[in-house]
Structure 1
């Protein structure tokens, strides 16, 4: 990369350092936005950085995250269409802690006008043994100046690296069933990360508390779904696309199991698990599936107006919003096993924060918050894909939402 003139780079760094030391955080101007991206363990992916806002920008600097056990930034690729080599001077350097320092300055003092610009891509190498989850990407030391060296922004930029390990997830929903009505339902949520053309699994309760005799078909007329009883008492669910067209990715379905409760069962909590999961694509190829069990509480209370027992959450969990896709509003549910500082944020595809639905200390329990498809200014947002991100202490989880108008 071409070298900056010594006087200009020194001026930029001095102004930037003074702004950071002064804690100058204006509420206007341009800001650096770090995108969010899906990845699998062992992948190397590109995370895009954007410059957005209304001010004229003549220079910037930032630090990539420190090298960690989960992922590391291995390279920085400049977008030559935005930061033209005959106008901008870019310098990068690797520091002792593994971070990469990036400095850019417009030698002609013209700057980038207000708008949205793709600056560069961070190449992120994901560790092969990383656990699935949501990992924040924090860019520190952010300084953005106008063409005359005045600071217009110094706020840390955040994006998210979303690690997935499977193509489809099945999750038994915790519920309370009452002996007063022996014919009831147990629900299993299905979420696809990749197109799915067929699957089968066994649903098994821990103590023969119920018998599954049917499974409703949420996929439509082009799918066959059946349920058969196995010798061990489990119920095997088989589903197949009859016309070869798979379920799309990023879709959610509820599989409602019609069950008959054993009248001799004792009240209390009973684990329900999903076993022997097999998933296939449209070419009959094997896919990776993940199954999460749940707990069914059998209640002997015969008066339905009385309060039912509440199962305390045992883990941090962010559920898929319902409905999804949605039009006017959607409900977001999450569980906390203990008291925690909680933020619940809705972001767009660029990783930009749209609205913060929660930012407070919450005690342990189950929570449901509603989003009405508006940004933090109360303005309706456009149709498209959004992400809801739960941060509870050190725990990060994310779900994809689809807004249709």
Structure 2
């Protein structure tokens, strides 16, 4: 009898444990990005009550460990870039965004709640149109052509193409016609909008497909093991690099022939980089490696490798891009300082100089999830999750040329959330970014969308006023004053001097440097663009040799 009671008790305990297991499974919904097992190294999402939190699962380093702390880089917004507009969605989250090459349009998918695709211009945060996507969609992938004539989205089991003028798709491929359906994964379109490379993502094997925009019959299909994470077309539209968790291939767009296939031992969840002509490619992985390959006419040879050195855990190289001219590479990383503290770093390499970066920007506080070059290579944008206290920026914009040893800053954006994706127009004058309204590591909902006007000039231009003879050293009142965004500052000096004109806010903090150069005797003027500043009182100070004068200006928007 005692033995029977003991067996009965064990049976009851087993049933209770099973019930608890199913209850816990129903409380939380897990999604590792693109269906990887949640114990695999990488990112995964936990969903609860229409909210989401992102969790990072690092690999313990059992080998040699290094000090991971770098001094934080300084960043000064010193050019006339500004936020054109921004939008905060009350419940949705922005995962993927693309900007048209001509800098005029941005296209993205909103996920989590009120799932949809939307296109915007530079004038307003009101979309030109909206297209509802399936409520079963977890991630909406987006891409656009140079003129936004072909806007692609992948959502649940559909791949669509739209013109910028209409939310009625002119192309709709249903993945359920495939024998192994999968879910719509990463995609890209050629710059002219005539070709689309899309993916059907599955945990075992993913399928990449090429379409002409006017036909849903694929030109070719290419399969790689594991879940799809990246599709990136070369700038000349001839090649595409596609990637899954452990594999990648470089494929001729017009023939479907693979010129190279490779294996990534340590896994990745990033889109890889490819240069304009496809002669340079770059891969990154979840042990912090950046691998750069060059084409020798018949195959890709490994050129050099860089590793974000590990500490207690292996660090991750999480994003990469290559300039159109094949000369430069930008890479973003996530560093595990401890089990619960992080850093993000942006590195800028010259391909011909090997694995020593030209400069490093450290202190981004968390995952640098996206880096993006302008097609002319002059502007680099990068998005990060930022710090939990929201004291550091989540979007950084750099001027990349000429080559310098310190990060050449232009503009930053600090939010109360985390950015996940960014895009940079061909000429670099427009940068767009989207993300989550609360930090990636915090349960929450709501989304962010920013549109930035980037000043790609070398700085404010100093203009000589001919025919105006200086009578001494003098700083004139700016005109107009008060002003809305743009005003002109004039001064004169009797001798050649090193000249500085610096703008300060009412707290005495430097907000802009208008002039910092040696000038001959004469009368001068410079325009000040305050588009990125809030309304209020500001002060500007002229220093020329031993002379100094300060005046007040009022910005009214």
- The structure showing larger relative contact order (alpha-carbon pairs under 8 Å, at least 6 residues apart) is 1
- With structure 1 as the length reference, what TM-score do the two structures score? 0.23
Larger strand proportion of the pair: 1
